[in-house]
Amino acid sequence: MGVPLASESRLASLRGRRPTLATLCSHSSLQIFHGARSEGYSTLGLCVGAPPRFYDAFPLARPDRFLSVPSVKELPGVAERLRAEGAVIVPHGSFVEYVGAQTFAEIDVPVFGNRAVLAWESDRRKERDWLELAGVSMPKRYEDASEVDGPVIVKYYGAKGGKGFYLAKNREALEDFHPTGPYVIQEYVLGTRYYMHFFYSPLSDRGYRVGHGSLELLGMDRRDEANIDELYKLGAQEELLRAGIRPTFVVTGNVPVVLRESLLPQAFDVAARIVERSIDLFGGMVGPFCVEGIMTEELDFKVFEISTRIVAGTNLFISGSPYSDLVAPGLSTGRRIAQEIRRGESEGRLNEILS
Ligand code: AMP
């Protein structure tokens, strides 16, 4: 038996009925709705204003019903209607970002996963403490610019999509950096990026055992980031800066990747440590999460970020990935979420996977 995350009263709206899986119409919603339908769940699309038309083009992923709000911030106001629908909210990256971590954490509707993770993920320093305690390799952090001894990336707190990040080749180049808010200075790691899509099931008692459950690898991608990814075609950084072009890391898409098979043990070890530490720190991370890092030429995987819910890179694998096909053919992360909820229902253990 795992850790109970949800109280009786939080789950009262689900008593004696099948849940409806609800999410915000954006990010990975097509995959979440498609996965929920494949497992026999009814679906509810939360949208701002009129339902987006693009769902009409995807009949297998269109939610059964829509609930419209004037703005995302007003979602907590429809909590009662959501409970009346028997909704379970499936969070995704944009959902939490648009609603705000604090508001999301307080929404009075059952949510898939452990909402306590938000406090650890939304603060870069707390996230680093978690990863350090887990003993995973990370980019070096400099407390002060005077300690810098190599290329660095300067990140503002809460900066999503890498907008406003500053790259400096060395300490001298950092002198041109004039901060406009709180920031951290991190070693700029040279290597290749991997975004690994894991799923932790506290309910499973077979497979790659971690804690009281098991860990699955469902896919892997690399993000296309504008303008950094194609910048090299224009020449060296100094030239670009002279032309007034600064690198940015705005995600514009995703490409599938696989890791050298001999590196999979390292990937699983890193993910397992992160899960184990999450159990000690806040009762455990549940469901999909993404370990984001850089494999150096010494084959040391340095983690720069973890996303603790379904990431958009999983959209590549709606009909399976080279990894998830070896768990169950054609399995997407969206469908895996619905399967976990179905298992929670049938074993009377929803309180271990919802919060
Ligand atoms: P983040 O907001 O931390 O996810 O970072 C956004 C992007 O910046 C990543 O997808 C990477 O391309 C790049 N990046 C972040 N941290 C580092 C690092 N320490 N070294 C090299 N590139 C990084």
Alpha-helix residue ranges (DSSP H) falling in 175-250: 228-231, 237-242
Distance in Å, CA 171 to ligand 1 centroid:
19
So what's the pLDDT on residue 125? 84
So what's the pLDDT on residue 97? 87
What is the rounded (10 degree) CA torsion for 334, 336, 339, 341?
A: -70
**pLDDT greater than 90 at residue 352:** yes
**pLDDT greater than 80 at residue 292:** yes
Cβ burial of 299 (10 Å; 0-12, 13-18, 19+) is exposed
- On average, the pLDDT of the chain sits at 93
Q: Which residues of 230-248 are buried (b: 16+ CB within 10 A; e: fewer)?
A: ebeeeeebeebeeeeeebe
| Domain range summary for the chain, segments of one domain joined by + | 12-133+191-223+256-352, 141-189+227-247
pTM of the entire predicted model: 0.94
Q: For 260-280, write each residue's pLDDT tens digit.
A: 999 999 999 999 999 999 999
Residue with tokens 């650890």: 120
Q: For 296-334, write each residue's pLDDT tens digit.
A: 999 999 999 999 999 999 999 999 999 999 999 999 999
Q: Is 82 in the pocket of ligand 1 (CB under 6 A)?
A: no
Distance in Å, CA 304 to ligand 1 centroid:
6
Asked if 36 and 333 count as a contact pair (C-beta separation under 8 A), the reply is: no
Q: Is 162 in the pocket of ligand 1 (CB under 6 A)?
A: yes
| Ligand 1 atom 13, closest CA | 249
Distance in Å, CA 136 to ligand 1 centroid:
16
Query: What CATH number matches the domain at 12-133+191-223+256-352, 3.30.70.3400, 3.30.470.20, 3.30.800.10, 3.40.50.300?
Result: 3.30.470.20
So what's the pLDDT on residue 41? 98
Amino acid letter, residue 172 = E
Mean pLDDT within 38-56: 97
What is the rounded (10 degree) CA torsion for 162, 132, 3, 342?
A: 40
- Give the SS3 label for residue 263: helix
Just give the CATH number of 141-189+227-247: 3.30.1490.20
Q: For 8-36, write each residue's pLDDT tens digit.
A: 999 999 999 999 999 999 999 999 999 99
Q: For 200-231, write each residue's pLDDT tens digit.
A: 999 999 999 999 999 999 999 999 988 888 77
Rounded Cα gap, residues 34 and 288, in angstroms: 16
Asked if 216 and 208 count as a contact pair (C-beta separation under 8 A), the reply is: yes
Show the tokens assigned to 23: 């999410």
